Structure 1
Amino acid sequence: MRKEDKSTIISTIAETVKGYDFFYLTDISTLNAAKTSALREECYKSDIKLMVVKNTLLQKALESLDTDFSELTPVLKGNTAIMFSNTANAPAKLLDKYTKEGVPSLKAAYVQESFYIGANNLKALVNVKSREELIGDVIGLLQSPIKNVVSALQSGGNTIHGVLETLSKK
């Protein structure tokens, strides 16, 4: 590969990393062609970008960015595929689905400005809530007291009405 081609690939990887909030490093080398195709299709449906890269080019692309990604250097061995997403747990859920079959394995992840190294972190990453889920939780918590007040006022109105009716009959 020519030096110009390598620099183009490095800049493409760097721009892609900048364009997404989260990324996962995986090893999909044990997948056959049919399973790799199925994984790519699932990634497309889940709005996840899957890119197979050379480790040295990925390392140079990460070094060219402002963020310090040096914690990921030890896992850049063997075959590496990157899963880019703007939803924190989408790649983890997809990987969890496929890991029940034994492959692909999680090498590392960069989620919410934290590094998760090793496949043992996959369950924790599956449980990370997306931005939309967190907003829904906050809205639910904010609505709960309001619903209680409205409910109390409505039931209180019926009670007062009942007391007034009883008093008027006496």
Structure 2
Amino acid sequence: MKKEDKSIIIEKIAANLQEYENFYLADIATLNAAKTSILRRECSKQDIKLLVVKNTLLRKALEKLEGNYEELYPILKGNTAIMFSNDANAPAKLIDKYNKNKEKAPALKGAYVQESFFIGANT
């Protein structure tokens, strides 16, 4: 990927991080293409914006913002999808719905909700 392309993606991620009050980081590696497509449609219905990103680009976008997001850096490994929402618990409810249905679900890695960090699925 060209440096210019990376810069554009970093700016896009940073703009979304500023636009939305809350975001969740999830690992969607267990989902195949069809399940990922279904997840994207579910997110769209609930006004959740889903982006699959490279961890290094996400980290650079976080570094551009005001505030300290270092608590999230250790979980930026593997596959990462960002779920943006102005509704604080909409992404959590969607992930929980997948888990309750015993489907292969996105694994919650962490979240930034109401100016607080949550790391892992049990927080």
Which structure: larger Rg?
A: 1
> Residues of 2 paired with 1:18 and 1:41: CA distance?
23
Pairs within 5 Å for 1:40-119: 40-100=40-100, 101-119=103-121
- Consecutive unaligned residues in structure 1, runs of 5 or more: 122-170
Could you tell me how far 1:98 is from its partner in structure 2?
Answer: 1.1
1:117-159 deviation digits (Å, cap 9, x = unpaired): 00112xxxxxxxxxxxxxxxxxxxxxxxxxxxxxxxxxxxxxx
How many matched pairs?
121
State the superposition RMSD in angstroms: 0.8
Could you tell me how far 1:34 is from its partner in structure 2?
Answer: 1.2
Q: Which one has a larger percent strand, Structure 1 or Structure 2?
A: 2
TM-score (norm 2): 0.96
Identity of aligned residues (%): 70
Higher relative contact order (CA 8 A, sep 6+): 2
TM-score (norm 1): 0.70
Could you tell me how far 1:99 is from its partner in structure 2?
Answer: 2.2
Matching residue of 1:13: 13
Could you tell me how far 1:102 is from its partner in structure 2?
Answer: 4.2
Could you tell me how far 1:5 is from its partner in structure 2?
Answer: 0.6
1:25-57 deviation digits (Å, cap 9, x = unpaired): 000011011111110000000000000000000
